[in-house]
Amino acid sequence: MMRRAQITSTSIAPTSRSATRRRRATLTLLLASLPLLAIVLIPLAALLLRVQPALLTQHLFEAQTRQAIALSLTTTAMATLLALLGGTPLAYLLARRSFRGRAALDTLIDLPMVLPPSVAGIALLLAFGRRGLIGQYLVAQGIEIAFTPIAVVLAQLFVAAPFYIKAAAAGFAAVDRELEQAAAIDGASPLRVFSAVTLPLAGPTVLGGLVMTWARALGEFGATIIFAGNFPGRTQTMPLAIYIGFELAFERALTLALILLACSFGVLLTVKRLLGQTLRPL
Amino acid sequence: MARLLGCMLLLLGWLTACASTERTGGLAAPETATGSQGELIVFAAASLSEAFQEIGRTFEAQQGARVVFNFAGSQQLAQQLAQGAPADVFASANRAQMEAAMSAGRIAAGSERIFARNRLVVIVAPDNSAALRQLRDLARPGVHVVLAAKEVPVGRYSLEALDKLAADPGYGRAFRDAVLRNVVSYEENVRAVLSKVALGEADAGVVYVSDIAPGSEVGRIEIPDAFNVVAEYPIAPVRDARQPELAQQFIAAVFSPAGQATLQRYNFLPVQP
């Protein structure tokens, strides 16, 4: 944890001068932020400017577009739910228990976030594919994963779950332990303490992590195309439809790209609003 | 504060320097470094990877120029060209993508020439656990087939071949529909089809004959000529090439006896210019 620096002012400057200085500093900061802002915003603007509204609505009602949107929404919802169920105990473990190998486990969870997505896809295929480490036994039981919607969910879970785990762990770590102890002294069971004290207090951070996981899953491409393949209506999520549609259906790809952008932006913004997590100047 | 601004200026300077080397084709290789020659950027279909790399190595040794390849699905290359990507030569796996690059104004109409031909073949997984022996077996329920997406030349050829089979009384439409029901994925390019069959994740796939590397473990089922689709590969210089002379020389190298022999070694059908 970083300690907050103590600022002690030795002389009290007249307010007008310090205000001017503050304004100048703000302006400098703004100028310094421009290059990176431009790199982020200009491509997005280019995307928006290229779209013809008439075509947008036309492509919106095409079967392949609708299939991709529906598949993306269902698989990402599933992946987010699984991240919540499977990731919460793990996050709690990381936040509250010290054990040997904790640092290694923590780093291991970071890995999928930095792996190239195609590596994730190959790894998943070698694990759960028909000839995979585990997949070969599943096939013997008649369970096939590769090239199915389940593979899509697994790919999303693999790359996106760490976002939730990390955020939830940070949230749990920040909860005041004394409040939990007080509840425990009053006779609440550990599970009750968790659901009535820990979770509500860590709530905003946890929810924020969940949304990041969902957004990352929505944009997942590399692992999906390798592990789940590309089949319209079965494994072709929005990012896959955008990539494949780049040539024959450039306008359709654009339409999907825009929907994806609007979805991500809208949800991220809404959640930030709800949580009051928007950056407030100190 | 002044120091921060100084840092920002330095960073900006570095960014613009990067941007200016970017225009010379990625790596910061000043054009003078390789004598008067410089760097040739070749956009080529994924199926040409090995053959073109070999032709490129010979070309580099002879011309003293660097050849930078961009291998991808032809449809992606055409799209990149349409979006203004810098390139000197474009070699496509079909006419349609060459024409796409033409209508985008990057290739002059009539400047393209067919330099190689290719045909389709069915590949089966190395262990062939599905016991596929003949084309007919592809229609058996439960067989996992991967094809290239119809947006990729080889994908469209595969569907054409299936249509030809459907028109044949010996196979019929039921055969085609059964095979299409067995398709589990439409891959983004021909190499992805090959990889998934080679891994055994799919039982069979349709690729170009030239995609099967010598010594590859995948099995083959031939598609008779009557149903096969002959793919034609056109090559052309890019209109606004930064290396127009080198571009012409590279195309000449592809048509040279040595170049054609290389293509043949990688299972392409050479053309007689």
Per-residue three-class SS string for A124-167: HHHHHCCCCCCHHHHHHCCCCCCCCHHHHHHHHHHHHHHHHHHH
CB contact under 8 A, A131 and B200: yes
pTM confidence score = 0.75
What DSSP designation does B48 have? G
CB contact under 8 A, A246 and B144: no
Q: What is the pLDDT along chain A (282 residues), one digit of tens a residue?
A: 444 444 444 455 556 788 888 888 899 999 999 999 999 999 988 888 887 777 777 777 778 888 998 999 999 999 999 999 999 999 988 988 888 888 888 889 989 888 998 899 999 999 999 889 999 999 889 898 989 999 999 999 999 999 999 999 988 888 888 887 888 888 878 888 877 788 788 888 888 888 889 999 999 999 999 999 999 889 999 999 888 876 566 777 888 888 888 888 887 787 777 666 544 443
Instruction: Provide, as residue numbers in chain A, all residues whose Cβ is less than 8 Å from the Cβ of B186.
Output: 229-232, 244
What DSSP designation does B231 have? E
How far, in Å, CA of A152 to CA of A159, rounded? 11
Max CA distance (Å), chain A: 80
At residue B204 the predicted structure's pLDDT band, cuts being 50, 70 and 90, is very high
Reading the block at residue A188, the tokens are 């609440």
Instruction: Provide, as residue numbers in chain A, all residues whose Cβ is less than 8 Å from the Cβ of B100.
Output: 247
Q: Where are the alpha helices (DSSP H) in chain A?
A: 15-50, 53-60, 63-96, 102-114, 117-128, 135-140, 149-174, 177-185, 190-193, 199-218, 222-227, 238-244, 250-275
Nearest Cα residue in chain B from A126: B199
pLDDT of amino acid A2:
42
CB contact under 8 A, A229 and B4: no
Q: What is the mean pLDDT of residues B257-271?
A: 91
pLDDT of amino acid B137:
95
List all residues 6 or more positions away from B143 whose beta carbon is below 8 Å from its beta carbon.
B130, B132, B137, B182, B203, B204
In DSSP terms, B230 is beta-bridged to B119
**Cβ atoms of residues B124 and B218 within 8 Å:** yes
Find, among B155, B31, B182, the residue nearest to B94 by Cα: B155
Instruction: Provide, as residue numbers in chain B, all residues whose Cβ is less than 8 Å from the Cβ of A225.
Output: 187-188, 192
Q: How far is the first Cα of chain A from the last one, in angstroms, to the nearest whole number?
A: 19
**Cβ atoms of residues A186 and A109 within 8 Å:** no
Q: How many residues does chain B have?
A: 273
Per-residue pLDDT reduced to its tens digit, B117-169: 999 999 999 999 899 999 999 999 999 999 999 888 889 999 999 999 999 99
At residue B28 the predicted structure's pLDDT band, cuts being 50, 70 and 90, is very low
pLDDT of amino acid B159:
96
pLDDT of amino acid B260:
95
List all residues 6 or more positions away from B212 whose beta carbon is below 8 Å from its beta carbon.
B121, B123, B194, B218, B220, B267
Instruction: Provide, as residue numbers in chain A, all residues whose Cβ is less than 8 Å from the Cβ of B12.
Output: 35
Find, among B47, B49, B44, the residue nearest to B88 by Cα: B44
pLDDT of amino acid B247:
95
Closest partner residue to B149 among A32, A129, A244, by Cβ? A244
Instruction: Please give the share of chain B, as a percent, with pLDDT higher than 70.
Output: 86
Locus of tokens 């799209």: B79
Q: Say whether residue A245 is in contact with chain B using an 8 A CB cutoff.
A: yes
* CB neighbours of residue B54 within 10 Å: 16
Find, among B82, B11, B95, B8, the residue nearest to B45 by Cα: B95
Q: What is the mean pLDDT of residues B1-28?
A: 46
- Whether B185 shows a pLDDT value over 70: the answer reads yes
**Cβ atoms of residues B205 and B122 within 8 Å:** yes
Reading the block at residue A52, the tokens are 């013809």
Q: What is the mean pLDDT of residues B190-195?
A: 90
How far, in Å, CA of B150 to CA of B153, rounded? 7
Find, among A162, A42, A66, the residue nearest to A107 by Cα: A162
Q: Where are the alpha helices (DSSP H) in B64-184?
A: 74-82, 95-103, 153-166, 172-182
Instruction: Provide, as residue numbers in chain B, all residues whose Cβ is less than 8 Å from the Cβ of A131.
Output: 199-201
* CB neighbours of residue B83 within 10 Å: 11
pLDDT of amino acid A250:
74
Look over chain B and give the mean of its residue pLDDT values, rounded to a whole number. 86
> Which residues of chain B have a Cβ shorter than 8 Å from any chain A Cβ?
1, 4-5, 8, 11-12, 15, 75-76, 78-79, 97, 100, 144, 146, 149-151, 183-188, 192, 196, 199-202
Q: What is the mean pLDDT of residues B15-29?
A: 41
